[in-house]
Amino acid sequence: MSHEAPTPAANFIRNIIDEQNASGKWNGRVETRFPPEPNGYLHLGHAKSIFLNFGLARDYNGVCHLRFDDTNPEKESQEYVDAITESVKWLGFDWGKHLYFASNYFDTMYACAEYLIQAGHAYVDSLSADEMRSYRGTLTEPGKDSPYRSRSVDENLAMFRSMRAGEFADGAHVLRAKINMASPNINLRDPAIYRIKRAHHHNTGDTWCIYPMYTYAHPIEDAIEHITHSICTLEFEDQRPFYDWLLDKLADGNFFPRPLPQQIEFARLNLTYVVLSKRKLIQLVDEKHVSGWDDPRLPTLVGARRRGYTAEGFKRFTDRIGVSKSDGWIDYSVFEECQRDVLNDTALRRIAVLDPVKLIIDNYPADQSEDCFAPNHPQHPDLGKRVVPLSKELWIEREDFMETPPKGYFRLFPGNSVRLRYGYVITCTGCDKDANGTITAVHCDYLPDTKSGTPGSDSIKVKGNIHWVSAAHAYEAEVRLYDRLFTTAQPGGESGDFLKDLNPDSVRTIRAQLEPVLKDANAEDRFQFERHGYFVADRVDSKLGEPVFNRTVTLKDSWVKTTK
C-alpha cells in the first residue's frame, strides 16, 4: 500500500519540527519511536501513535524506531512482541534495522544509576511502601524527607550493589532520585527509579532482580537511541520535568550528548463504543466475552484486520482526526466512514442472499441455464465483468417478496414486475406456503426479450430491481454479521462497569447463498455484497475453496439502488 500523502496537514508537532529545522537544532534530523510495552495487543489508539511517529519520520526523511518498552517483566511476553510486530507491519510501516528492546539497555541504565548515586542525585530508601506514600505529601501539602535521604554516597552505592546482587528481599529498598520533596509537582518528589523484583524476563531471563521504573527507563531509552522527538500521550505531561531533569544530569555525566531528546505530548484517541485500555481488553479476552484477541468485534489491530478493515482506511482515519493537545471523543462512525470510503473504491462487487427464499421461474426450462454478466465495479469498468449463471430456481431475499405489499413497495408481489438485476424482467404470479403460513417459494414468469445488455431489453420499464443467486450454482457459506460490542458510547460511563454495557447481539452467524465465484475467494479478499455492505473472507476460519465471510461494515445507506 502507499502512504504517500499529498501535503500532510499541519499540526503543532510539525510546527515544532519546522521551527527546529529552521534554527538548525537537529541539523534536519528527525528520529522518532513507537514504544509499546509488550503486555497486550495493540488497539485502535495505538494506530494513531503509529501513524504519527512513522508518518513524521517518512515526511521528514527521518527514521522511526520500533522499540519494545519491556522493563516490567511480570506482564510481558514474546506472544505480545510477535503480535505487535505483525500489526505495525500490517499497517504498512517498516522500521528497517531500528528494532530495539529497552531490556537490552539494562546495563546502561544500571550504570546511569550508579553515576547518579555518585553525583549525589540518587539514594537508597528503606521506608516501607506505606511510609513512602505518607511521606510523599499531597497536591496541596509538600512531602517530607525520608530519614534515609541523607545516606552517604558510599553507603548508597554499597546498598545499591547489594540490591543488584540479590541480597535483599523484594521491595525491601528502592533507589530514588534526589530532587525535591517539596516540589509542587509530585513527580519530582524523589521518584523511585529502581525496585527489587525477582521476576523472569522474556528477554533477559533471570539476570536481573532489580528493574528500572518506567519513568526512569524511558528517557534513557530515548537518549541511547538519539531520538529527537519523544512523542507520548498527555498523561505524561507532568512527567516531562523529570524526563528533562534526568537527561540533563546524565548529560552532565557525559552519558549522552546535547541536544537531548524532547518529550512532546498529544491527545490520545478516545473512540466511542469501544474500550481502548489494555486492562479492559485483557479482561474481555480472559473472561471469554469474545473469542480471543483477534475477535473481529474487538478494537485490537488483529481484530480489525480479521474484521476486514484496511490499513489504508486507518491512514485515512488518522489523517482525518489529526493531532492536537486537547482531549476529546471521536465517534466510531468516523472510523467506519473512513474504512467504507476505501472499500467503496477498492472492493469488488458480488451478490449474496443473506436471508434466502426460493424464486421459481415457471416458464423457464428446468434443464437450462445461461450466463448473465455483472460488472466487478461500477466505477471501474477496467475491472471487467464476471459471469453470473441464471437458471429456473433462484435464491432471493425473503424481504423482496410481500404477499400484500404496503404502498410504495416496488419489489415482488403478485402481479408486479421487477428486473432480476443483470437478468430478465419477471412478473410475480404467487407463492407457496407451509402449514404455518411461512412462505416457502415465490413464483414468477420471465419475459424472454428483456435480458439486460441485449438490444431493446429496457423497453419494459419496471421500478424494482432485485438481486438473486442461481440455486443450482450458489455457494452456501457461513457469514457473520457484526454489530457494536457495546451498546453505549462510553462503555461503563454511568455504572462504572463496562461489562454491563456489552451488546448481547454483537454477532449473528447465518448461512447465506452466495454467487458461485465467491467460493474461490482467498482469505482477506474483500467484497461489497450488493445492498448488504462490505465483507471479507475470514483469515482464520476460511479453508481453500470454503471461505467464510465477516461483515466489515454496512453500506452507508443500507439500501442502494433497489429502484431506478
Return the number of the residue (53 or 542) whose C-beta is nearest ligand ATP: 53
Minimum distance, C-beta of residue 84 to ligand ATP, in the bound complex (Å): 8
Strand-strand pairing, 468-470 and 393-397: antiparallel
The residues of the shown chain that bind ligand ATP, judged by CB under 6 A, are 35-37, 39, 45-46, 48-49, 232-233, 268-269, 276, 278
Beta-bridged to residue 517, according to DSSP, are none
Residue carrying the nine cell digits 475470514: 538
Options 37, 114, 237, 337, the catalytic residue? 37
Return the number of the residue (202 or 268) whose C-beta is nearest ligand ATP: 268
Q: Could you tell me where the beta strands, DSSP code E, fall in 439-530?
A: 439-446, 464-466, 468-470, 475-482, 507-514, 526-529
- 37 is annotated as an active-site residue: yes
- Burial of 279 (C-beta count, 10 Å sphere; 0-12/13-18/19+): exposed
Return the number of the residue (16 or 276) whose C-beta is nearest ligand ATP: 276
Return the number of the residue (21 or 233) whose C-beta is nearest ligand ATP: 233
Options 268, 320, 349, 519, the catalytic residue? 268
What is the rounded end-to-end Cα distance, in angstroms, of the chain?
Answer: 36
Return the number of the residue (186 or 267) whose C-beta is nearest ligand ATP: 267
Q: Which residues contact 228 (CB under 8 A, 6 or more apart)?
A: 26, 29, 30, 31, 32, 62, 261, 262
Report the residue closest to ligand ATP, judged by CB: 45
User: In this structure, what DSSP letter does residue 521 have?
Assistant: P
Q: Could you tell me where the beta strands, DSSP code E, fall in 8-69?
A: 31-34, 63-68
φ and ψ of 281, to 5 deg: -65, -40
Amino acid at 503: N
Minimum distance, C-beta of residue 50 to ligand ATP, in the bound complex (Å): 8
Minimum distance, C-beta of residue 45 to ligand ATP, in the bound complex (Å): 2
Return the number of the residue (328 or 504) whose C-beta is nearest ligand ATP: 328
- Count of beta carbons in the 10 Å neighbourhood of residue 381: 10
The closest alpha carbon to 321, from 368, 267, 384, belongs to: 267
Active site residues: 37, 268, 278
